[in-house]
Amino acid sequence: MLVRYMWPLKNKFKHMKKGILLVAFGTSVPSAKVALENVHHEVEKAFPDISIRWAYTSAFIRKKLKQQGKEIDSPVIALSKMADEGYTHIAVQSMHTIPGLEYDYLLQTVKGIMDIPKGPEKIEVGRPLLYDHVDIERVVDAMLIHLPQLLKNEGVVFMGHGTPHFSNVFYPALNYYFAQKTKSVFMATVEGFPTIHDTLLKLKQNGIGKVYLIPFMSVAGGHVKNDMCGDHDESWYRLLTSAGFKVECILKGTGEINEVVSIWVQHLRDAFNRL
Ligand code: CO
């Protein structure tokens, strides 16, 4: 929680203008945008009278979009613009999956904005998708509802991002939660632990012959297109196919699954209620 110190008298007569800022890593893959559009739609339904803005945390993605003629603000620019436009109370929702580096940077950015004089009175940051035990249970249930019908020797590998940040522990933890419900669903990451190589061994041990690869990322963007199902030697698709598995890719981000989106919306609701 970040509250600006205000002289009480001034505070009393100042009018309130509330706004929402949704902050995602971002994507430059046009087909992946459906996930963020769906999130926008769900947030709009939950907050019909509040203005909703977006910011992308990835400078690389913003630069790429700019070259295509599309401009998306960074969190610091988006918040500065809102401050200039007289927003007094802002709920910032992290559209990230885990409370990792991007989330930490977002908290720091909000703190920085609150250090600048004459800005918003209060900014609250909503937790990312996964934060506590209840979030994990809800996400696991939501993901399991949307699986294809699995035959006896079929399994699922979810592709998470992974991070050097300590919150990478969410990914091995998810394996534990999935294992409480099914023997055929596994979590692997592109840039953290568990790796696809660890997971390949598990698939073999469990007698799985066919694997569905499904993103565990808000959008089916660059990592899904390249690392998951890309047509090159290091893609998970190729790796598993070469190891003798039948593989099918499902290109759907978690932002397209409303049972998952409702958790982000709940976290936004929590933040908004704290304003
Ligand atoms: Co990445």
Residue 266: which residues within 8 A CB-CB, separation 6 or more?
none
Residue 190: count other Cβ atoms within 10 Å of its Cβ: 18
Residue whose entry in the numeric block shows the structure tokens 């599309």: 70
In the chain, the domains with their CATH numbers are 18-129+258-273 (3.40.50.1400), 147-251 (3.40.50.1400)
Coil vs helix vs strand at 7: coil
Tell me if the bond preceding 194 is cis, omega within 30° of 0.
yes
pLDDT at 27: 92
Q: Look at residue 30 in the predicted model and tell me its pLDDT.
A: 87
Q: How far is CA 159 from CA 71, 146, 148, 179, in A?
A: 29, 15, 16, 16
Reduced to 3 states (helix: H, G, I; strand: E, B; else coil), residue 155 is strand
| Predicted pLDDT of residue 10 | 52
C-alpha of residue 28 to centroid of ligand 1, in Å:
12
The 3 state secondary structure assigned to 73-104 is CCHHHHHHHHHHCCCCEEEEEECCCCCCHHHH
- In this structure, the number of other CB atoms found within 10 A of the CB of residue 216 comes to 22
Residues designated catalytic: 161
Q: What is the 103 CA–ligand 1 centroid distance (Å)?
A: 14
Taking the C-alpha atoms of residue 79 and residue 92, their distance in angstroms, rounded to an integer, is 9
119 CA to centre of ligand 1 in angstroms: 32
Per-residue pLDDT of the chain (275 residues; tens, 9 = 90+): 667 766 555 555 568 999 999 999 999 998 899 999 999 999 999 999 999 999 999 999 999 999 999 999 999 999 999 999 999 999 999 999 999 999 999 999 999 999 998 899 999 999 999 999 999 999 999 999 999 999 999 999 999 999 999 999 999 999 999 999 999 999 999 999 999 999 999 999 999 999 999 999 999 999 999 999 998 999 999 999 999 999 999 999 999 999 999 999 999 999 999 99
pLDDT at residue 118, rounded to an integer:
87
pLDDT, position 14: 66
- Ligand 1 centroid from CA 39, angstroms: 20
